[in-house]
Structure 1
Amino acid sequence: MRTIDITHRLRGPAVATIAALTLAGWAVPAHALPRAAPIPLAQAAPDVAEAGAFDLVRPSKSPVKLRSDPRKLSVTYTYEGNERTLEDFLTRTKTNGFVVLDGQKIVDERYVEANRNTRFQSWSMAKSFTSTAIGIALHERRIRSIDDPVTRYLPELRGSGYDGVSIRNLLRMSSGIAWDERSDIPKVQMAANRGQPVGKMAARQVRGWEPGSRFEYTSMNSFVLAEIVSRATGTPYHKYVEKKIWQPAGMESTARIDKDSAGDSLGYCCYHATDRDFARFGLLYLRDGKAAGRQVVPRSWVKKSTTPSASFNTGYGLHWWLGDGDQGDFMAAGFGGQYIYVSPRHGVVVVKSTVSTSANDQREALTAFRAVAAEVARTR
């Protein structure tokens, strides 16, 4: 079956316009930010594919097998006092791809104007992949410690707002640089569309507040982390992801990661992959970093990155969003309603993809996904 790259709908100037004008972002869990606080934008990024500005990430020769085993799921949930259904949620949020795993069984899979071979744009779900690459590089001792300053690996950031800031504070979105995701990321995207290297923009960032003192969702942090991966390992980011994550995790299809004019991967926004491979990434974390019996991601890193990283925001780990309460669930999330949700309690992974740029409510998404996971467990 022919592979579709669904981002053909969002090309060049159209994406720049969206980035500049679409300021309605996605809501975060209630415990992560005060309900009245500004909601961070899970950013739009330039679709630079027209200029061929992307790298391919090759799949595994022995993909993790996902077996189709459809099951009737009757999913209802209560949100803000109203009873809602999964069908309504998927329609209302303009879902184009939806996959539910019970272990390696695909119990629900559906597509609208897409198919199982469609490559969806990850948007900020990419941040969780970048966190994984950091964790592997740390385990390999390519990175000495996440308490190292970023300038140990990127000396060109000396004198910038990142000077002296720890890798840990980038991972937990507490870098201290003066940044407003709603207004700054569209500027970065438009500048990148004009051919300006994002690395040079990172070097122009200034200090706005004390690092490690509060949460501020900042996509530039994730770009810097991807650069650290490349510099610390001596391997281009996309090749490191291919060798250390994509292939050993048993991905089935070729993916692409967009890059800027300097050839640096946009590790904060721009993976293009199938929903089944996004689900395999969730399965990797569901199984504590193991795939096909091999420890791909250190188990200690899986735990560290999916537990609260700071007292000032218990709803965020190290580039993973965390569910509230005691369920231990977590998810990668991106602009417009892209999700990889993992429920260790129920052994379930949920992936949701859309090409919509409209606002979505992450609180409701979490509620819906929890209801799906509970229904999968009930009908097992």
Structure 2
Amino acid sequence: MRIIHYAAALALMLAAPGANAASARTADVLRPSAHPVELRTAPREISVTYTYKGQERTLDDFLGRTKTNGFLVLDGQDIVVERYTGAGRATRFQSWSVAKSFTSAAVGIALGEGRIRSIDDPVDRYLPELAGSGYAGVPIRALLRMSSGIDWDEARDAPRLQVAANKGYPIKTMAARQERGWDWGERFEYTSMNSFVLARLVTKATGVPYHDYVERKLWQPAGMESTATVGNDSHGDSLGYCCYYATGRDFARFGLLYLRGGKANGRQVVPASWVKASTRPSPANPRYGLHWWLGEGGDFTAAGFGGQYIYVSPRHGVVIVKSSTAAVRPDQEEALTAFRAVAAEVARTR
């Protein structure tokens, strides 16, 4: 799983909304649900070891090495592990690219409502400003699969994108200047600009600003308990590719929503068909679905730079949320190994 190069990501992090007082203003609010999904506190001792690269390791060691400041494990609606370091239940953690999976959910809801006719439609049908760009004629599905064909290098271009957003530059202008590097669908290329375009697609297709649509159709119906914020470029466009600031418990509720096939509080929030489609392998990358990273045995992950994760194990009925305080070298493969061991142990000790 490749999210973003370490050195480039460090520059991105330092330029991100929330990194300083000025940039913290460029965010929109998501108000919580009047009827939060109940998460019951039911702690129990979970002793986990796993083997990675031929070495036996412990969960505690992994969490320490990766500077974890928030770690939650759900067994259904029961919180069996909840740990914080220099943080707490009220802390709003930075999502980084975990936000991309929220954007995917918003697209799926808009599709289910008929606001988007088909994800095989070209994206410029809804965003005519892209008609002269590399996005012209590219189906929405290709953006979701990160195979849009845009000439993009995440390590080089994502930090530039974030700096531009932080300085208040209209990202839609940057999107309209993107060029085609290869045929869409030809190869997988992780591209944060794709996620911005999808967030803007939601706005244009629904007639409702992305953050308002997420609040009304996803955040509140999914039973989120706390206020969150979503980064924007200060020109009315949510970023879509990053910068949700939310509590660990609400990130866990999002994972629980997908564990339950898109349902929360007895209501179908995200179409079940979209949850299934999002977690099926893409032709260009069998480890990636529709803005979700895919694992083995049906598990899947929303993942962000620096060690931010929402891991879902349908096999074991477990959701894991991990947040980290600082840029550390990529730990994605080890994280998945550790999460699978945790999920298996939770299931074993029921």
Bin for the TM-score computed over the shorter chain:
over 0.9
1:291 aligns with 2:261: no
2:57 to 80, 84, 87: 84
CA distance in 2, matches of 1:65, 1:189: 35
Contact 1:101–1:108 (Cα < 8 Å) also in 2: yes
Q: CA deviation at 1:294?
A: 0.7
CA distance in 2, matches of 1:370, 1:42: 29
Contact 1:130–1:268 (Cα < 8 Å) also in 2: yes
In structure 1, the residue matched to 2:326 is 356
- Which amino acid is the alignment partner of residue 299 of structure 1? A
- Which amino acid is the alignment partner of residue 319 of structure 2? V
In structure 1, the residue matched to 2:172 is 199
- Which amino acid is the alignment partner of residue 7 of structure 2? T
In structure 1, the residue matched to 2:338 is 368
In structure 2, the residue matched to 1:22 is 7
Contact 1:304–1:318 (Cα < 8 Å) also in 2: yes
CA distance 1:63–1:24, change in 2 (3 Å): closer
SS of the residue 2:261 aligns to: coil
In structure 2, the residue matched to 1:336 is 306
Contact 2:278–2:292 (Cα < 8 Å) also in 1: yes
In structure 2, the residue matched to 1:218 is 191
CA distance in 2, matches of 1:349, 1:45: 30
Q: Tell me, which stretches of 5 or more residues in structure 2 are unaligned? A: none
In structure 1, the residue matched to 2:247 is 274
Contact 2:120–2:140 (Cα < 8 Å) also in 1: yes
- Which amino acid is the alignment partner of residue 369 of structure 1? F
CA distance in 2, matches of 1:280, 1:44: 28
TM-score, L = length of structure 2: 0.95
Q: Deviations over 1:174-207 (max 9, x none)?
A: 0101000000111122222332111100011001
Q: CA deviation at 1:361?
A: 1.8
Contact 1:43–1:185 (Cα < 8 Å) also in 2: no
CA distance in 2, matches of 1:345, 1:289: 16
In structure 1, the residue matched to 2:124 is 151
Contact 2:6–2:329 (Cα < 8 Å) also in 1: no
Contact 2:165–2:232 (Cα < 8 Å) also in 1: no
In structure 1, the residue matched to 2:291 is 319
1:135 to 108, 111, 115: 108
Aligned residue pairs, count: 344
Contact 1:20–1:186 (Cα < 8 Å) also in 2: no
- Which amino acid is the alignment partner of residue 331 of structure 1? T
CA distance in 1, matches of 2:240, 2:320: 22
CA distance in 2, matches of 1:195, 1:100: 37
Q: Which moved more, 1:161-170 or 1:181-190?
A: 181-190
CA distance in 1, matches of 2:302, 2:37: 20
Q: Deviations over 1:130-184 (max 9, x none)?
A: 0000000000000000000011110001110111111000000001010000001
In structure 2, the residue matched to 1:6 is none
Q: CA deviation at 1:359?
A: 1.7
**Aligned pairs (5 A) from 1:24-63:** 46-47=16-17, 50-51=22-23, 52-63=25-36
CA distance in 1, matches of 2:109, 2:160: 32
CA distance in 2, matches of 1:161, 1:43: 27
Contact 1:258–1:270 (Cα < 8 Å) also in 2: yes
**Aligned pairs (5 A) from 1:227-242:** 227-242=200-215
CA distance in 2, matches of 1:42, 1:313: 25
CA distance 1:320–1:125, change in 2 (3 Å): same
In structure 2, the residue matched to 1:247 is 220
Contact 1:43–1:219 (Cα < 8 Å) also in 2: no
Q: CA deviation at 1:307?
A: 1.2
Q: Which moved more, 1:120-129 or 1:301-310?
A: 301-310
